[in-house]
Amino acid sequence: MNDQNTCLKMHNVSKRFGATIALQDVQLKLEKGQVHALVGENGAGKSTLMKVLSGVIQPDSGTMELFGKPFSPDSPLHARHNGVAMIYQELSLVPHLSVEENVFLGMEPTKKRFVEWKFLRSETRKALEILSHGDIHPKTTVSGLSVDSNR
């Protein structure tokens, strides 16, 4: 394995919650172009590891490197600005906002401090088409949608 292709390294990452050891001396190395899957029983630490990586929680010990540089995100926004974003399997939408606002939440494209609604709507339409949901209008309020595929 060539270190020039290394995207992420985690060295001895540990995290405790009281007496519970969620992560203990985790070593992880991700290479460019590889696909990885975290598999394990409930309580194995998969979610905790991803929360450390994405800046949701801080490790008790250990270090991380991103593209060869020290990486210690103090928030999900900080991680996102460094190219690390997490998509959780749980639904976490803001029901009173529109589909387009939820898609770009926290990453709204702006010009001179104003949201570029036309671009936002266009990109949301493209994403909905790719996901075979082109029938959903980007301005639709999320609370008006159903998780049922038949709506």
Model confidence pLDDT, tens digit, residues 125-136 = 999 999 899 999
Domain ranges of the chain: 3-81, 99-144
Q: Which of 43, 145, 58, 26 is nearest to 95 (CA)?
A: 145
CATH 3.40.50.300 at 3-81, yes or no:
yes
More confident: 14 or 43: 14
- Vertex 104 angle, CA 128 and 146, to 5°: 50
Indicate whether 1 pLDDT > 70.
no
In the chain, the percentage of residues whose pLDDT exceeds 90 is 62
List pLDDT tens digits, range 61-94: 999 999 999 999 999 889 988 988 887 766 678 8
pLDDT at 2: 53
Alpha helices, DSSP H, located in the chain: 46-53, 76-81, 99-103, 117-130
Indicate whether 51 pLDDT > 90.
yes
List pLDDT tens digits, range 99-111: 999 988 878 888 9
Q: Cα separation of 39 and 98, whole Å?
A: 34
pLDDT at 33: 83
pLDDT at 122: 96
